[in-house]
């Protein structure tokens, strides 16, 4: 059991027959009245986000989320197939479970798959990936001191804002948590 007063980002708990993950929280102590916890929580099964106010003494059962490193193989138009690298079993997942990670994953890349009671509900891309730029506007010579950016499309289809000196064919490093350009190889 976990009390609402102990909420931190990333904690998962069960409430009202669903499993929620704390996205953000704030402990509030008003001048008058009792303290409370204001939290933004997301259902791990449906993805619905909501803002809820909790009494700090309310207790909820912890939800145990399992994670497994799996390799992305391919998609057949409807399902995305991941392989357990230890048992070589293939796991088909629908688009809702993988759509956030797929803009950064190529075939044969490893990803983290999260499970609740054996049911997969989310795929997380590695924190940093290196992808090739396949389409961007050419940079203007001498226009590099301004810190300006331009959109670039990488090989997975994601559009990233990159500095003006990045060209087609360059391999860039991207932070998948923020979607930001980090460096060029």
**CATH number of the structural domain spanning residue 44:** 2.30.30.30
Average pLDDT, the chain: 88
89 has pLDDT over 70: yes
- Do 115 and 132 share a structural domain? no
Number of domains in the chain: 3
The percent helix, strand, coil of the chain (3-state, each to 5) is 5, 55, 40
In the beta sheet, which residues pair with residue 8? none
Of 173, 180, 45, which Cα lies nearest the Cα of 120? 45
- Do 135 and 119 share a structural domain? no
Q: Which of 40, 60, 80 is a domain's end point?
A: 60
pLDDT at 33 (0 to 100): 86
Q: pLDDT by residue (tens digit) across 132-177?
A: 999 998 866 665 566 788 899 999 989 999 988 888 999 999 998 8
Q: pLDDT by residue (tens digit) across 25-45?
A: 999 888 888 899 999 998 887
95 has pLDDT over 90: no
- Do 9 and 51 share a structural domain? yes
- Do 156 and 140 share a structural domain? yes
- Do 52 and 6 share a structural domain? yes
- Do 145 and 174 share a structural domain? yes
166: domain CATH number is: 2.40.50.140
Q: What is the C-alpha to C-alpha distance for residues 130 and 107, in angstroms, rounded to an integer?
A: 13
Choice between 129 and 100, residue whose per-residue pLDDT is larger: 129
Residues 28 and 36 sit within 8 Å (Cβ to Cβ): yes
Residue with tokens 């003006």: 164
Chain centroid to Cα 50, Å, comes to: 18
Residues 183 and 171 sit within 8 Å (Cβ to Cβ): no
Four-CA torsion 48, 49, 54, 58, nearest 10 degrees: 40
pLDDT at 38 (0 to 100): 93
Provide mean pLDDT across the span 104-130: 89
Looking at the whole model, is its pTM more than 0.75?
A: no
- Do 77 and 46 share a structural domain? no
Q: What is the C-alpha to C-alpha distance for residues 142 and 131, in angstroms, rounded to an integer?
A: 26
- Do 70 and 44 share a structural domain? no
> Domain limits at 162?
128-184
């Amino acid at each position: 059991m976990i009390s609402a007063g102990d909420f931190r980002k990333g904690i998962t708990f069960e409430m009202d027959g669903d499993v929620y993950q704390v996205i953000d929280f704030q402990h509030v102590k008003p001048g008058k009245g009792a303290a409370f916890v204001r939290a933004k929580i997301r259902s791990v099964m449906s993805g619905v986000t909501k803002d809820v106010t909790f009494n700090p003494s309310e207790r909820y059962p912890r939800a145990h989320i399992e994670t497994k490193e799996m390799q992305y193989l391919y998609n057949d138009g409807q399902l995305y197939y991941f392989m357990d690298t230890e048992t070589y079993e293939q796991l088909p997942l629908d688009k809702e479970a993988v759509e956030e990670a797929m803009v950064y994953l190529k075939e044969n890349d490893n990803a983290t798959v999260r499970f609740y009671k054996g049911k997969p509900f989310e795929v997380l891309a590695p924190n940093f990936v290196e992808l090739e730029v396949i389409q961007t506007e050419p940079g203007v010579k001498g226009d590099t001191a301004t810190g300006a950016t331009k959109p670039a499309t990488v090989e997975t289809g994601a559009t990233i804002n990159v500095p003006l000196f990045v060209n087609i064919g360059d391999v860039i490093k991207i932070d998948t948590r923020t979607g930001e350009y980090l460096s060029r190889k």
